[in-house]
Structure 1
Amino acid sequence: MKKNIIALLVGIVLFSCKDNTAETSPSEIKKDNEIVVTQSQFAASSMQIGTANEQEFDVTVKTTGKIDVPPQNRAKVSSFIGGYIKSTTLLVGDKVTKGQALLTLENTEFLDIQKDYLEVAEQINYLKSEYNRQKTLYDEKITSQKNYLKAESEYRRAFGMYQSLKAKLNLVHISPSNVEKGKLTSVITVYSPISGDIVVMNANVGMYVAPSEVLLEIIETDHLHLELDVFEKDILKVREEQKIKFTVPEASKEVFNASVHLVGKSIEGANRVINVHGHLDDNIKQRLLTGMFVEANIITAAQTGLAIPIGALVTENNKNYVLVLEKKTNDYVFKKQLVKIGAKTETEVEIIPDAKVTATTRILLKGAYDITE
């Protein structure tokens, strides 16, 4: 009885080992660069076999650049005369319109300019009258030329000063007519020279700003465009109105559209590049920011090639392979075949045909990742 029990236990152990071996066998067998896939594995992974199809691919010039705006659509705001910031309510990102009040500055120097203007304005009528009187007397030979020239010189000097101070008041947006009425102010308002978005804000209430300091920067985002650098060897392929597809790799994988608007006429820098200006589609301008780095493809032509889905391409150690069907019995036997690739779209990739991979070669088009990962 004891011997029968031992024999039974040994049999159970052997059966269990055999069963476990069957369950843990790999789903694919790799030998001599071959991969064997069973019928059940093929169906479970919804694999598909087919041939490469002919498709048109874009011929492109690869380039890099940035999002920018034309010089006339970017404004750095400063004051002609320094002062202390008295008030502002704006922040980076706020939209402003041309002529809108941005902030106010306070400085006693503004009062000095107005005082000088007022003094000259009060003298100008007398000096003009004296000049005209001396001219009349000189014409009638009653006074000397010396007196006449002196009166003329004093009037013209005062008139020049008057015009200079008046222009300076206009530059800081102080009304000369109000000054002549005795309405003086130590506060001036700085207005926006363009409409757009505030991208730099250096102004805080109470701080002193010199005339050379930038208070804030405004950009008209409606005029965003691409500034691309194209190498000399590619520039003759680029023409106006060609389509551009670009990405902002640091922010998104999304592909955006643009078109070539202007092509530079001179080679710049040690890298020997030519500037290409591209116009953006209106619907994406509000999503992009100036200064963003872009990678772009300028579409210069189209060519026909053999295409397979991107998922059918297997990349290992910087080499590209496809799984070619070697034979089909009860199982599917595939062989990894090295291929060269060409152009790409978002879903397909071009393969360059050779003696081993042609338009009639049967390739695993779907499920390659499942059996090679």
Structure 2
Amino acid sequence: YQNAKTTLERSEKLFASGGISKEDLENSRQNLELKEQALRVAEAELRRTRELPDENDVAIAQSAVARAEAELRSIQKKIDSSTITSPIDGTVIDINVREGEMVSVGETLVTVADLKTMKAVIPVNEVDIPKVKPGQKAIAKLDAFPGQKFTGTVVSTSQKETIAENVVTYETIIYLDNAQGLLRSGMTVDVEILCQSKENVLVIPFTALQEEGGKTYVLVKKGEKDTEKRPVEVGLRSETMVEIVEGLKEGEEVVAALGRKPEATSSQRGGPGAGGPPPM
């Protein structure tokens, strides 16, 4: 560029003195313009090059970013590990640790229960256990709520027996509806499992039955004072009532014996109710 400029200045002096032609002067000017354009391109390339980072600097920066991302992931993992989330929606019913205490791996810190459904664990006699199946309906009564009934469903029966005082029973789990929130963990319940059911059948109190000579009888009222001893055929039984298949007609009155207790049925005295069903 500098040489082209010097050449143009000399050509202008020569042209003024008549040493060169006008054409030669124009050629010198065009050459200068080309050199100026080349200079501008070179300067722009120089600026661009200076603005680009060095490959080594880029590598260092990328390494720093990778380390920062790794540290961020590590911190996030620690935060996630320090937060314990219950796998179910429910109510905290027990806290086993206090703030600041050391805990061990696998230690239960908090117990959460779904109190909308309570788990009742009851023993069912070996005579009745073949009749009990998952899915059957159940009715529970509690001394804490006289006159109230809580509906439930049989969930499972244990395959392992429990023997107490020479009586064999099998642990049966029933889920009870607790939408009103009345039932609490540890309460004792009386549960009647509906192994079978019929509609529109004739029933009488269980205490009206009499056994004699391998047959079943009832005393049917005849007038104010007289009674008739009549054989009957019985069907389904509950804790307090029994179905009469044959021997009585609707509307006939029978005499119930005072103090007579029903035989063992699928109605059992339950163990302590537990809060919430376990994860299925």
TM-score, normalization by structure 2: 0.44
Larger radius of gyration: 2
**More contact order relative to length (CA 8 Å, sep ≥ 6):** 1
- Calculate the TM-score normalised by the size of structure 1: 0.35
